[in-house]
Structure 1
Amino acid sequence: MNKFLMTVAAVALSGIGGASAAWAQASANPNDMVKTAVETVVKGVKADAAAKTGDVNATARVVARDFLPYADFLRTTRYAVGPKVFDAATPEQQKKVFEAFQQLLVNTFALQLSQVRGNDIKFKFEPAKLTANSSDVVVGATVSGPGDNLSVAYRLAKTDKGWKIYDINMMGENVANAWLIQLYQPQFKARIAQGGIDSLIAYLQEKNERFGK
């Protein structure tokens, strides 16, 4: 997969810190929310001395700090694992698989960001078509960089805390089978078939432990 394309995914799907005033305002509109999310993460990486040098652990901390307020990774995890399997798990298992998968995504995105840290990336957003009853929408974006021009799509759900990103299509809205949840579902299903949800948790934790080494 194109390295620059993965970087765009990184910008759109991560984050762990408290919601900023900008996020709180943007969350009322999915189009503004995606724009704010992208710009916040890019700015955060550029402002961090270690992340600017390509330090993947530092980049992961920036990604985590600056973006979870924009994302609903619990929804992402539940759909990727499978609602029936996830709901049947114990609360402790749900917590562990959620935290491990969230960290895996943050780490993966941070790695891609660290590899293209010097690129001059520009975004042009394609607003979602909203109605008064919209609760699940897709916001598109055209991403331009040196020698590259790509389409990306972000899927958002309306929650009691505003709009949240919970899936991303790294090939653009018109490529139906490239959504992240769809890409992870078969991997998770295979792990669960081998040893239940605990096997999936161990797999995710092992991948996270190898990050940055």
Structure 2
Amino acid sequence: MNYTTANPIEIHEDGMNKFLVTALSAVAFSGIGLASGAWAQASSNNPNDMVKTAVETVVKAAKADAAARDGDVAATARVVARDFLPYTDFHRTTRYAVGSKAFDAATPAQQQQIFEQFQQLLVNTFALQLSQVRGSQIAFKFTPAKLTANSSDVVVGASVSGNGDNLSVAYRLAKTDKGWKIYDINMMGENVANAWLIQLYQPQFKARIAQGGIDGLITYLRDKNARFGK
């Protein structure tokens, strides 16, 4: 998938966080039944099931964790890392967000640091916002991807309503040797071309690399993550 930063949708960080948490947490309050273990395991073979299972799994775990249920951000982050990340391919997300040329120019150690810090930033963002929407009443409806025998990159759409908001969200998945994995989220729906999460981070990362190189990007990500602990 070729991502471009041409004419990206401008969404400030607070607004982006709101869309991200809606995409992640809406099923928690929608009244949809939670996935069984057998269905969750099988869902990796179907991207539509994968999205539903990923969201339901992390939400079920958050509701079962007393600290997360009480709004503890650190506990919620642990739940997200443990129960949502297995459904994702954040290595792919990181490479696309940084840009293949810049990422390939980094040392293996730098690549690993970028991946770890970017993944932690997204986990922290999800956890912080998820901890703040407890008790919300949100309805969530999925729009299945159109699959063919050769499909390897698909989009699963969703509509979200509640609390005065009506939002469209889309999840992009890639077919890997471990099944379908989520690697991008469009916070304005699949019909808005330039609002994918990767596209929104690309200009930020490009600017940081231009200013301070790969190490500057790593420092930027590490500093943002450090703020979550204060």
Report the counterpart of residue 72 of structure 2 in structure 1.
55
Q: Is the 8 A contact 1:10 1:110 kept in 2?
A: no
Counterpart amino acid of 1:115? Answer: Q
State yes or no: 1:30 paired with 2:47: yes
State yes or no: 1:7 paired with 2:36: no
Report the counterpart of residue 173 of structure 2 in structure 1.
156
Distance (whole Å) between structure 1 residues aligned to residue 38 and residue 215 of structure 2: 38
Query: Where does 1:184-199 land on structure 2 (aligned, <5 Å)?
Result: 184-199=201-216
Identity %: 80
Query: Where does 1:193-212 land on structure 2 (aligned, <5 Å)?
Result: 193-212=210-229
Report the counterpart of residue 85 of structure 2 in structure 1.
68
**Shift of the alpha carbon at 1:6?**
2.8
Distance (whole Å) between structure 1 residues aligned to residue 85 and residue 74 of structure 2: 17
Q: Is the 8 A contact 1:153 1:172 kept in 2?
A: yes
The secondary structure found in structure 1 opposite 2:48 is: helix
Report the counterpart of residue 169 of structure 1 in structure 2.
186
Counterpart amino acid of 2:43? Answer: A
Distance (whole Å) between structure 1 residues aligned to residue 17 and residue 219 of structure 2: 27
State yes or no: 1:115 paired with 2:132: yes
Once the two structures are superposed, residues 3-32 of structure 1 have per-residue CA deviations (whole angstroms, 9 ceiling, x without a partner) of: 6533123449xxxxxxx7544310100000
State yes or no: 1:101 paired with 2:118: yes
**Shift of the alpha carbon at 1:158?**
0.5
Query: Where does 1:116-131 land on structure 2 (aligned, <5 Å)?
Result: 116-131=133-148
The secondary structure found in structure 2 opposite 1:210 is: helix
The secondary structure found in structure 2 opposite 1:58 is: helix
Q: Is the 8 A contact 1:154 1:165 kept in 2?
A: yes
Structure 1 residue runs of 5 or longer lacking an equivalent are 13-19
Report the counterpart of residue 84 of structure 1 in structure 2.
101
Once the two structures are superposed, residues 136-163 of structure 1 have per-residue CA deviations (whole angstroms, 9 ceiling, x without a partner) of: 0000011232333321000000000000
Distance (whole Å) between structure 1 residues aligned to residue 102 and residue 76 of structure 2: 32
The secondary structure found in structure 2 opposite 1:201 is: helix
Distance (whole Å) between structure 1 residues aligned to residue 67 and residue 185 of structure 2: 27
Q: Is the 8 A contact 2:137 2:162 kept in 1?
A: yes
**Shift of the alpha carbon at 1:121?**
2.9
Distance (whole Å) between structure 2 residues aligned to residue 22 and residue 195 of structure 1: 46
Distance (whole Å) between structure 1 residues aligned to residue 120 and residue 39 of structure 2: 24
**Shift of the alpha carbon at 1:120?**
2.7
Distance (whole Å) between structure 1 residues aligned to residue 17 and residue 110 of structure 2: 33
Q: Is the 8 A contact 2:17 2:126 kept in 1?
A: no
**TM-score, normalization: structure 2?**
0.85
